Amino acid sequence: MTSIHDVARAAGVSPATVSRALRGMDRVSPQTRSKVLAAAQELSYVASPSATSLVSGKTSVVGVVVPFLNRWFFSSVLDGTEQLLRQHGYHLLLFNVGRGSARTLMLDQRLLWKRVDALLVLSADLEPEEVALLAALHVPLVAVDVDLPGWDRVGIDDRHAAELATEHLLDLGHRRIAYVGGNPEEDVHLATALDREAGVVAALSRRGLELDSACRVRGDWTVRGGRDAGERLLSLRQPPTAVVAASDEMAIGVLCAARERGRIVPRDLSVVGIDDHDLAFTHDLTTVAQPVHEQGRLAAQLLLDALAETGPHQRQVRNLPVELVVRGSTAPVCS
């Protein structure tokens, strides 16, 4: 409970001087500063963040809005973010909102108002009122892997990633290619799902092929969802010879479905994912790798830039490079 007055008394100066000395401002004599530092150290004084914020209007807190904490992509991005923001003196306040039918937390003004200096949004599926709220907060905001019109964005070119995956299969001679995407009902606003699908369609059409509607199935972005999707695909009268999954989790699900049906990968079915999940290599999964950690770092950097800016903000959109990683889950089509 030691306050600035205690330090002032101990150092024999005024609270104002303690404040200046401790924050490294000029117009404090070296002797005074060291006296103050010593006293503060002695009393293990730390300024109350509430009091400081009340005066400065700054909280040193960045809010992070995520749909899930326990899915690889999100936790990895966050991991990349944390370090950089910490180094610059910011704390991370978590808003784990859920997604679609698992939406558990609605952002509202009471949660955010005067609580954060900036926001990092990893979540799609925000309601229009929530987006309006974000604007009303008047704080810098960076969206990762989501489009929030008007705000900075860090991500990858989703369409291109899917094209890479699809072209790899086409180059191997596959012609009947399926796409396992998100959940169309829950993901209506999720550009990621749509863009990746568009990439598949584009790559196919360049070879004069189409994405058969039976070969376009949802996967919920989970392993279980991917397995169900794979199940559906493999039970078609004319099953695909290859699958592009919008995420590695779903791709792994498809692998499970294939295994359960006794299909040998890649002999009977080629599978390619997108992400390069930590565990992708354990399934020898061919995938399009995206720099997840780096996206977190870059988002943090953009936030820091915006926080440091004085003038008007120039919108930033940064897509990081992706790369096809060929492993053992894809092979030339059996003729």
Partner DNA sequence: TTGAAAGCGCTACCAA
Partner DNA sequence: TTGGTAGCGCTTTCAA
Contact residues for DNA, defined by CB under 7 A: 1, 3-5, 12-17, 19-20, 22-23, 26-29, 31-33, 45, 47-48, 51-52, 54-56
236 binds a second copy (CB under 8 A): no
Binding residue (CB under 8 A) for a second copy from 23, 114, 206, 313: 114
Indicate which of a second copy, DNA, none lies near residue 59 (CB less than 5 to 8 Å, by partner kind).
Answer: a second copy
Q: How many residues bind a second copy (CB under 8 A)?
A: 46
Q: Can residue 283 be called a binding residue for a second copy (CB under 8 A)?
A: yes
Select 29 or 205, whichever has its Cβ closest to DNA: 29
Residue of the chain from 17, 76, 286, 295 that contacts a second copy (CB under 8 A): 76
CB 280 within 8 A of CB 287: yes
Select the binding partner of residue 3 from a second copy, DNA, none (C-beta < 5 to 8 A, by kind): DNA
**CB closer to a second copy out of 79 and 323:** 79
What string marks each residue from 93 to 112 as x (binds a second copy by CB under 8 A) or -? Answer: xx-x-------xx---xxx-
Of residues 35 and 277, the one with the C-beta less far from DNA:
35
Instruction: Point out which span in 43-51, 118-126, 228-236, 317-325 binds a second copy (CB under 8 A).
Output: 43-51
Is 56 or 70 the residue whose CB approaches DNA more closely? 56
Query: Closer to a second copy at the Cβ: 163 or 220?
Result: 220
Contact 309, 267 (CB under 8 A): no
Of 78 and 170, nearer to a second copy (C-beta) is 78
Tell me which residues touch a second copy (CB under 8 A).
Answer: 44, 46, 48-51, 53-54, 59, 61, 64, 68-72, 75-76, 78-79, 82-83, 86, 91-94, 96, 104-105, 109-111, 113-115, 223, 252-253, 255-256, 278-279, 281-283
